[in-house]
Amino acid sequence: MNIIFISSTGTHQALVAAHIFLGRLHKPDFRYVTGFCDSVYDRSGFPIYIGEDSEGRKIYTLGVGKDVLMGKKTLEDLRNILGFTEKELVIEPVFIPGQSLIAMVTKWPKILGGDHLNVLVATYLLRKHFQTIQKTVEDLQVRLNKMH
Amino acid sequence: MNIIYHCFGGSHSSVTAAALHLGLLPRDRLPTMEELIAIPYFDNTDNSDFGSIRFMGLDEYKNAVYVLGKKSLGDRYTNIIHGTAEILGVRHQVLAVNTMPHVNWIMKIGGYISRRIGMVFLGRPLVGVGTRKAFFALVNLVEITRLQTMDRRQVDL
């Protein structure tokens, strides 16, 4: 099974959710989260492979722009067209309050301190809403357990 | 194979390209306004259609042709689609084609007036003019896409 955590970028809340899911992140300390706030890594639009859990599920993150639900709809349609179901690919959107601010600062020019602002704003918001992301992951785990 | 033409709203350039691919429009002359309006989904989508991959038909090689509106996400959406297919191990079954590089300002303004503001009587003729202006560029794009699909078919065989 493959799981893609989607949000406006693949290197902020989706990345934190992926690390929580993999059991690598238990408190809001993002210093050792590889690729955190790396907007260059996220720019191409390809899913980012994060790792594999103990049950062999491959975990990815993906940035789908401002309209996350539109991205979810496209990916679900694509999955169906290709003849797969939720048993092979789960698409999980991750929302936090203020996420549009994160999307905005990732586009801030580097020369005007964009990178610094990106890390500063994202760290503040993701620390503040860490429990919201944890809840999203827990709900997904419950859903996955029911699927078995 | 599944071919997905995508543009901003999924109602003009992508639909025209898909219609060309399926032979619903002539490739050797400019289509009339009536021919454009007769294409399924042409200038006939709403906000709920954003992100939906809509089926347009099967071409002569049994490739399924779809259209998609992806707002302003540009080529990123091609990578999103190809990347997801790659994860599922079926990258060779999907070809996403961005038609936005061939959209001109007349189409953008006409599309905005018709779809966003809802003044169809004003926007639709403008879109028609813009689509006719971009028509042969779209023909070229579709020909390249068809060659790519034939190339992949030969690889698969």
**Cβ of A82 and B73 within 8 Å?**
no
Rg (CA), chain A: 15
B98 touches B77 (CB < 8 A): yes
The H or E element spanning position B69 is strand B64-69
Over its length of 148 residues, how does chain A's per-residue pLDDT go in tens digits? 999 999 999 999 999 999 999 998 888 888 788 888 887 788 888 999 999 998 899 999 999 988 899 999 999 999 999 999 999 999 999 999 888 888 888 877 777 777 788 888 888 999 899 999 999 999 999 999 887 7
Nearest to A121 by CA among A109, A137, A104, A138: A104
Strands, sheet with A48-52, edge to edge from the N-terminal-most edge strand: A48-52, A58-63, A2-7, A89-93
Q: Which residues of chain A does B98 touch, with a Cβ-Cβ cutoff of 8 Å?
A: none
Of the partner residues B51, B75, B76, the one whose CB lies closest to the CB of residue A70: B51
Q: What percent helix, strand, coil does chain A show, rounded to 5?
A: 50, 15, 35
- pLDDT, position B138: 95
Nearest to B131 by CA among B1, B18, B2, B4: B18
Q: Which residues of chain B does A74 touch, with a Cβ-Cβ cutoff of 8 Å?
A: 51-53, 68, 70, 77, 80-81
| DSSP string for B50-66 | BT--EEEEE-TT--EEE
* Beta partners for residue B69, in sequence order: B7, B50
B2-7 vs B94-98, strand pairing mode = parallel
Q: Which residues of chain B does A39 touch, with a Cβ-Cβ cutoff of 8 Å?
A: none
Q: Which residues of chain A does B77 touch, with a Cβ-Cβ cutoff of 8 Å?
A: 45, 74
- pLDDT, position B18: 95
- pLDDT, position B86: 93
**Cβ of A75 and B84 within 8 Å?**
yes
ipTM metric? 0.88
First vs last Cα of chain B: how many Å apart?
Answer: 13
- pLDDT, position B157: 57
Over its length of 157 residues, how does chain B's per-residue pLDDT go in tens digits? 999 999 998 889 999 999 999 999 999 999 998 999 889 888 888 888 889 999 999 999 899 999 999 887 878 889 999 999 999 999 989 999 999 999 999 989 988 888 888 888 888 888 899 999 999 999 999 999 999 888 776 666 5
B54-58 vs B64-69, strand pairing mode = antiparallel
Measured CA to CA, the distance from residue B120 to residue B128 in angstroms comes to 11
Could you tell me the residue ranges of all domains in chain B? 2-101+136-156
Measured CA to CA, the distance from residue B94 to residue B77 in angstroms comes to 13
The answer to whether B106 contacts chain A (CB < 8 Å) is no
Distances (CA, A) of B130 to B18, B46, B110: 17, 20, 8
Measured CA to CA, the distance from residue A74 to residue B52 in angstroms comes to 6
Measured CA to CA, the distance from residue B18 to residue B14 in angstroms comes to 6
Measured CA to CA, the distance from residue A42 to residue A118 in angstroms comes to 13
**Cβ of A46 and B80 within 8 Å?**
yes
CB neighbours (10 Å) of residue A132?
15
- pLDDT, position A47: 93
Mention every residue, 6+ apart, whose C-beta is less than 8 A from residue B38: none
- pLDDT, position A22: 93
Of the partner residues A45, A67, A74, the one whose CB lies closest to the CB of residue B53: A74
Which of A7, A70, A84 should be substituted to probe chain B, the one whose Cβ sees the most B Cβ atoms within 10 Å? A70
**Cβ of A47 and B73 within 8 Å?**
no
- pLDDT, position B154: 66
The answer to whether B73 contacts chain A (CB < 8 Å) is yes
- pLDDT, position B151: 76
CA of A12 vs chain B CAs: smallest distance (Å): 17
Give the long-range contacts of residues B52-56, CB within 8 A, separation 24 or more: B52/A73, B52/A74, B52/A77, B52/B10, B53/A74, B53/A77, B53/A78, B53/A81, B53/B4, B54/B10, B56/B15, B56/B18, B56/B19, B56/B22
B152 touches B92 (CB < 8 A): yes
- Give the angle A62-A66-A68 at the CA atoms, nearest 5°: 55
Of the partner residues A45, A72, A73, the one whose CB lies closest to the CB of residue B79: A45
- pLDDT, position B156: 61
Residue A1 tokens read as 């099974």
- pLDDT, position B155: 63
